[in-house]
Structure 1
Amino acid sequence: MIRFAKTIVAGVMLMGTALAAQAQETFELTFSTYLPPTYEYVWKPVEAFVKTVEDKSDGRVKIKVFHSAQLFDGYDELQALSRGDIDITNMTGTYPSGTIPALTLFTLPFVFDDVAHMERALAAGLADQGMKQELNDKHDVVILGLAPWDPYEFYSRSTPILSESDFVGKVWATSGSSDAKAIQLLGGSPTGMPSSELYLSFDRGVIDGTPRPLLTGIGRSLYEVAKHLTISNFAIDTSILAINRQRWESLPADVQQIMLDAASERDRDQIARVRSFVEEAIAKYEEAGVAVHRMDAEAVSKLRQATKAAVDEFASTVENGEKYLEIIESTRNP
């Protein structure tokens, strides 16, 4: 009996030692993003995510953050994450859309009415129609969270964009295949360009315009080189918080849950910040001397019809393309 009791005690002690060792195990993760800190409504939630994970894990998780494309630019983040060169990133949907065609959804022309519409569509399972699974199965990427950017609007160097004819013959800097297709349908000439090159390209006359979020314009000081801004809700891109799958699977369940909870909070934080950002940003452009134009509903309707082929192509060529669009339509306000 004494020997049996000693065996139990020894077993309990070994189990306790194992649990203590597990509790003390630390994980060092590398977070890389092309985003600069000046992109505040995206950057501040990322900062909060990192702090929350480190605090809630009692220091077991340490996340080293590299911003402003110190390691990889927007076009390279998916590949870097897939290879395991980095552990976590905050991708903008347009940049990896050439590799993941379903991500072109977020820059299809005029499919979302506003940010609240995208929020409803995401809550209804928009990202669960194949894009999450493709990222996981083919690229070793696990999505932790999704949140919208503010809408893409039209920046132009010398003349305002008020109708379809204003696109014709102009060179447009685009960020993905979807917005490039739309610009082509409107008679413009698209050229792929990261946001870091927009300022000089405008300043030197290399481009005439670009469809980009208001945050990009402020973060890249486009109000200094673009004379006109047209508000039209052209497209709404998404901010994708993601982690390498193998790294994710190496983390204990409690750490995974901490990260998922922090990612959900990041999503809510960014959505709230986007809501309050738009009118503040427009006022800032006006203060900087940019002529701000608001495209009327009739003009938007004509552009939507002119670019419908891009939406139809998505529906016919992307797996579950029609299902994505059905969810968008079903979550539209009457």
Structure 2
Amino acid sequence: MKKIKVNVICAATCLFASLTASNSALAQKTHELTFSTYLPPAYEYVSKPIEQFINEVETESNGRIKINYFHSGQLYDGFGELSAVSRGDVDIVNMTGVYPSGSVPALNIFTLPFLYDDTAHLRRSIDAGILDLGIRQELSEKHNTVILGVGPWDPYEFYSKKKPIIKADDIKGQLWATSGSGDARAFQLLGGAPGSLSSSELYLAFDRGVIDATVRPLLTGIGRNLYEVVDYVSLSTFSIDISLLAINKEKWESLPSDLQAIIVRAAKNRDNDQYARVDSFIDEAISTYKSHGLKVNKIAPAEVSKMKELTAPAVDEWSSKVNRSEEYFDIIEKTKSH
């Protein structure tokens, strides 16, 4: 009788030890994630925060998360990133808002012309919940994608080769490289001839005379060496796009809660780092352009107002197609510095 009792106790002890070891192994499981971005390391105010995000996640998780990082479009270009993360072909992406806006039209709120004053205004609108009017939900429910963080680009400005953009009439008749439907429609209304090109194609397009001008952030000009093939930069704060750090929803839900918490903290730190870098970058970029012999002009407020008036139909058309559009505009208006 005693022998049976001892055997039962031993069996129970072994079972407990086995379950404990199993749970411990599960807790220590390494989660390998693939991170893809079309952006090159030369885009430093985006790439450096991404690198820090990866380092923080791997360090704070004590190696339980391993992130394989692919940049410069090694896996997907800007237009393909949302589909790739939605399918689970990659786990994490850093999307520029304009590229997935064809699938999520509400994202065009960040590339519609002349809505934002500066990056501080953009941040206030995000903190006020502008992404929660439908963008976050649509990405999750229709595209299997969870937003981890949101950072800024510096404002989109005018680059031109033949002549400077000083007034609205200077846009007419020029061949414009655009990146989304929102800016393309705006340039139609301004009398330009728009055509979609990714940032990686701009240098050759300018060099070969395929395009006359484009509207892009100052970072694009630095990262893609556009100062070698254009002669003018004109400042107007045409728009300010966002940098979306996002993860495949199924992959996200498969991660233990403690690892999710580490990723969320690292994503927030990444956002803060990118805002700080953008703020210091703008003046540096302008100085760099001038040092390369480019003529940098600031478009007069009266001409910006005229451009805004001429492109208002693009804003109205977007508004008619997007749910809760008036709430988007209310947030933008209420978060102006006044």
TM-score tier (shorter): over 0.9
Change (3 A) 1:25 1:185: same
Q: Which moved more, 1:271-280 or 1:321-330?
A: 321-330
**Is 2:298 aligned against 1:321?**
no
The match for 1:92 is: 96
TM-score after normalising by structure 1? 0.97
Counterpart Cα distance in 1 of 2:311 and 2:100: 22
**What code does the residue aligned with 2:148 have?**
L
Counterpart Cα distance in 2 of 1:228 and 1:108: 23
The match for 2:72 is: 68
- The aligned runs of 1:112-151 (5 Å cut-off) are 112-151=116-155
1:251 pairs with one of 246, 252, 255: 255
**Is 2:160 aligned against 1:156?**
yes
1:310 pairs with one of 307, 314, 317: 314
Counterpart Cα distance in 1 of 2:108 and 2:263: 27
Note the alpha carbon deviations across 1:287-333, whole angstroms, 9 max, x for none: 00000000121111111111111111222211121111111111011
TM-score after normalising by structure 2? 0.96
Residue 21 of structure 1, CA deviation:
1.2
Note the alpha carbon deviations across 1:84-110, whole angstroms, 9 max, x for none: 111111000011111110111110100
Residue 3 of structure 1, CA deviation:
9.0
Counterpart Cα distance in 2 of 1:263 and 1:310: 33
SS of 1:117's equivalent in the other structure is: helix
Root-mean-square deviation (Å): 1.5
Counterpart Cα distance in 2 of 1:300 and 1:110: 8
1:21 pairs with one of 20, 25, 42: 25
SS of 2:78's equivalent in the other structure is: coil
Residue 14 of structure 1, CA deviation:
4.6
Residue 10 of structure 1, CA deviation:
5.7
The match for 2:170 is: 166
Structure 2: stretches of 5+ with no match in the other structure? none
Counterpart Cα distance in 2 of 1:15 and 1:149: 49
> Between the two proteins, what is the percent identity of the paired residues?
55
Structure 1: stretches of 5+ with no match in the other structure? none
The match for 1:190 is: 194
Q: Which moved more, 1:64-73 or 1:6-15?
A: 6-15
**Is 2:270 aligned against 1:266?**
yes
Change (3 A) 1:296 1:4: farther
Counterpart Cα distance in 2 of 1:11 and 1:261: 37
Counterpart Cα distance in 2 of 1:119 and 1:9: 56
**Is 2:328 aligned against 1:332?**
no
Residue 24 of structure 1, CA deviation:
1.5
> How many pairs does the alignment contain?
334
The match for 2:87 is: 83
Residue 77 of structure 1, CA deviation:
0.6
Runs of 4+ more than 3 Å apart: 1-15
1:220 pairs with one of 224, 240, 244: 224
Counterpart Cα distance in 2 of 1:37 and 1:312: 37
Counterpart Cα distance in 2 of 1:197 and 1:315: 30
Q: Is contact 1:316–1:322 with CA below 8 Å preserved after alignment?
A: no
**Is 2:73 aligned against 1:43?**
no
**What code does the residue aligned with 1:151 have?**
P
**What code does the residue aligned with 1:229 have?**
V
Counterpart Cα distance in 1 of 2:310 and 2:22: 64
**Is 2:294 aligned against 1:294?**
no
